[in-house]
């Protein structure tokens, strides 16, 4: 820590700004289409993955269905595990484009594009154009960022506002103009407010921990006097306050739940059964940052051995604080560390441009491209020996080859030569074409990935289960979930009234929610009781003459069929789940029906396709 600390990166900018205008334009020819292709190509092709995508897409649908923009509902029951802001964006997407997988994923893809734009602008300002382009390429092609950019999940929007808050802070630190400095501090508070509306108190705690760590390491406590506390604080309260006040008014006890149970207890205890070892996020980062993980040691070594700039400290604190914060948490999920990816991408991009300028280190740039060997091998096998591949991979490969058959193979040839032939690699790097060729090579990986994800999605979605129910759906049946809960089923059934959820009274999580299990909230106004115990369901069966569609797990079918008063007219098994159709009026004439695969039935509750 006693090495020289410089305040800017002007020397590095001068060194990295030597590429010609022609080379910059030529690289953008490949760069921009690659970014848009990765984020938006076939965005709605895959079915919604359970549990997160199916559940989040349905919560947003019910915002429109109930017209309630304050309290999030899932199966018409208040679900207050997370704030509502991200569901607003999905609901607006539905309003404009209609309800579909594509419109549900669009806000995440747009938020990812926003992260890339912020990363590019920040790196361009402080590190130069070359690092900016490499930073965006590294970020958009890292595995975890790519997957979450195409997922109906709130973490990408959260990462966008965390990135905005931290980049605004550092810009404020570096700007001399008093007016511009105040503006950037106010933007920081506004971004922290939006992230708090998306994910709760962590929205201001996380950027606050990064800023605090930076101030500690650089000993720049005087910066606290520059922060626009008054106007920034007022804007933060104006953004956060109204919704939190309204939701507490309509759901008394919410503030205690979100701050104490969902905040402090989630961080300190294992009440949500998400405990992992302390090194869990190190492994997540090693896999999630592929194919660029192999360059991280180079970036660390550069930081340790060379003159460290103020920006280096800030980006490493940003990366390290997020990683350490969630590593100390008792509750761990892979997507928690997404906010560190923009900072780490810039650090690795800086290392890459340094490698390109050092003949002795250029060999290390071949390591990320070795990861392309696997998808290219799959393409070759799929082209000549398709029967060797598993079913879902085979279908994804077939789709990829139908779009880009031989160009993908030809792209692999120069990449392979570049990896194996040091002379060619050096010439490509010197001439400035390495970036363009990298864009082309990565195109092959993501062309295959998009199709493979679509093929795999149907084994992780409720879409086939809904398709099986479409044989019987008229829109008048009562849907029942018996001691199981396929999260995407309400979305694909397009339900317009609550499903009965049957479970034991002492369950710690119902419909994937500790809040629902603990609070047993009442359904939206105008609807009867939704959460039923086994005893209450048995009584309803004896008294009700209503037609029921009952979903359960296959292993629970015998228990369900022994229920007194149940008169099944059809029993079906659909990919590990069971469907029982009960119609007391028609009597007990049980029969078996097809499993629902490859069905396309249009009924009163919507269209189900496979």
Are 158 and 199 in contact by the 8 Å Cβ rule? The answer is yes
CA atoms of 132 and 129, how far apart (whole Å): 5
All domains of the chain in start order, with CATH? 5-41+80-354 (no CATH), 368-457 (no CATH), 463-608 (3.40.50)
Residues 6+ apart with CB under 8 A from 311: 8, 9, 126, 127, 170
Q: Which residues contact 496 (CB under 8 A, 6 or more apart)?
A: 65, 475, 605
The model's pLDDT over 124-134, given as tens digits with 9 standing for 90+, comes to 889 888 888 88
Closest by alpha carbon to 532, among 554, 515, 511, 561?
Answer: 511
Give the largest CA-CA distance in the chain.
85
Measured distance CA(537)–CA(558) in Å, rounded: 16
Report CA torsion sign: 437, 438, 440, 441: positive
Query: What's the mean pLDDT in 393-417?
Result: 52
User: Mean pLDDT across the stretch 184-203?
Assistant: 93
- What is the rounded CA–CA span in Å between residue 192 and residue 163? 10
SS3 49: coil
Q: pTM for this one?
A: 0.83
- Assign 397 a pLDDT band (cuts: 50, 70, 90): low
Q: What is the DSSP string of 511-526?
A: TTBHHHHHH-PPPSTT
Is the pLDDT reported for residue 236 higher than 90? yes
β-pair type (5-6, 308-309): parallel
Q: How far apart are CA 121 and CA 343, in angstroms?
A: 13
Q: What is the mean pLDDT of residues 522-550?
A: 84
pLDDT digits (tens, 9 = 90+) for 436-471: 666 666 766 676 676 667 777 777 888 888 887 877
Write out the H or E segment, with its range, that includes residue 305: helix 296-305
365-385 core/surface letters (b: 16 or more CB in 10 A; e: else): bbebbebbeebbebbebbeee
The burial class, CB within 10 Å (0-12 / 13-18 / 19+), for 102 is middle
Average pLDDT over residues 560-576: 74
pLDDT of residue 25: 46
Is 552's pLDDT higher than 50?
yes
Q: Has residue 344 got a pLDDT over 80? A: yes
């Amino acid at each position: 820590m006693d090495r020289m600390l410089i305040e800017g990166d002007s020397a590095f900018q001068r060194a990295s700004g030597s590429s010609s205008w022609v080379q910059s334009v030529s690289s953008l020819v490949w760069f921009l289409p690659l970014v848009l292709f990765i984020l938006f190509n076939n965005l709605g092709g895959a079915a919604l993955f359970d549990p997160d995508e199916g559940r989040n897409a349905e919560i947003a649908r019910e915002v429109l269905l109930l017209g309630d923009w304050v309290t999030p509902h899932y199966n018409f029951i208040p679900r207050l595990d997370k704030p509502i802001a991200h569901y607003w964006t999905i609901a607006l997407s539905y309003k404009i484009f209609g309800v579909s997988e594509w419109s549900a994923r669009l806000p995440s893809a747009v938020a990812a594009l926003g992260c890339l734009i912020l990363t590019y602008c920040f790196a361009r300002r402080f590190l130069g154009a070359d690092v900016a382009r490499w930073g965006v390429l590294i970020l958009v092609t890292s595995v975890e960022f790519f997957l979450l950019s195409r997922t109906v999940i709130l973490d990408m929007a959260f990462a966008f506002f965390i990135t905005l808050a931290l980049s605004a802070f550092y810009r404020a630190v570096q700007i001399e103009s008093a007016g511009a400095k105040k503006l950037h501090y106010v933007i920081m508070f506004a971004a922290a407010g939006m992230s708090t509306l998306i994910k709760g108190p962590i929205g201001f705690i996380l950027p606050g921990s990064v800023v605090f760590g930076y101030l500690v390491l650089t000993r720049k406590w005087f910066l606290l006097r520059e922060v626009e506390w008054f106007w920034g604080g007022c804007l933060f309260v104006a953004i956060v306050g109204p919704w939190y006040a309204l939701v507490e008014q309509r759901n008394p006890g919410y503030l205690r739940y979100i701050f104490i149970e969902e905040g402090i207890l989630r961080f300190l205890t294992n009440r949500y059964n998400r405990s992992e070892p302390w090194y869990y996020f190190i492994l997540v980062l090693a896999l999630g940052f592929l194919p660029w993980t192999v360059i991280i040691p180079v970036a660390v070594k550069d930081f340790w051995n060379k003159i460290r700039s103020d920006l280096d400290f800030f980006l490493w604190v940003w990366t390290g604080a997020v990683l350490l914060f969630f590593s100390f948490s008792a509750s761990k999920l892979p997507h928690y560390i997404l906010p560190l990816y923009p900072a780490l991408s810039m650090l690795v991009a800086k290392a890459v441009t340094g490698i390109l300028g050092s003949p002795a280190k250029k060999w290390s740039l071949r390591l990320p491209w070795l990861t392309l060997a696997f998808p290219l091998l799959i393409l070759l096998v799929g082209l000549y020996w398709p029967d060797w591949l598993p079913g879902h991979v085979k279908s994804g490969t077939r789709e990829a080859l139908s779009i880009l058959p031989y160009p993908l193979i030809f792209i692999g040839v120069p990449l392979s030569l570049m990896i194996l032939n040091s002379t060619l690699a050096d010439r490509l790097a010197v001439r400035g074409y390495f970036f363009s060729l990298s864009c082309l090579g990565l195109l092959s990986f993501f062309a295959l990935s998009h199709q493979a994800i679509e093929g795999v999605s149907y084994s992780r979605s409720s879409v086939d289960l809904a398709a099986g129910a479409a044989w019987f759906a008229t829109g008048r049946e009562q849907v029942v979930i018996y001691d199981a809960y396929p999260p995407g089923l309400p979305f694909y059934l397009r339900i317009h009234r609550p499903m009965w959820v049957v479970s034991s009274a002492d369950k710690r999580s119902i419909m994937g929610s500790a809040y629902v299990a603990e609070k047993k909230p009442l359904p939206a106004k105008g609807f009867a009781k939704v959460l039923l115990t086994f005893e209450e369901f048995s009584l309803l069966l004896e008294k009700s003459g209503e037609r029921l569609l009952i979903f359960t797990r296959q292993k629970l079918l015998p228990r369900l069929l022994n229920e007194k008063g149940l008169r099944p007219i059809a029993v079906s098994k659909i990919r590990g789940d069971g469907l029982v159709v009960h119609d007391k009026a028609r009597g007990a004439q049980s029969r078996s029906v097809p499993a629902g695969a490859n069905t396309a039935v249009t009924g009163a509750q919507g269209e189900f396709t496979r």
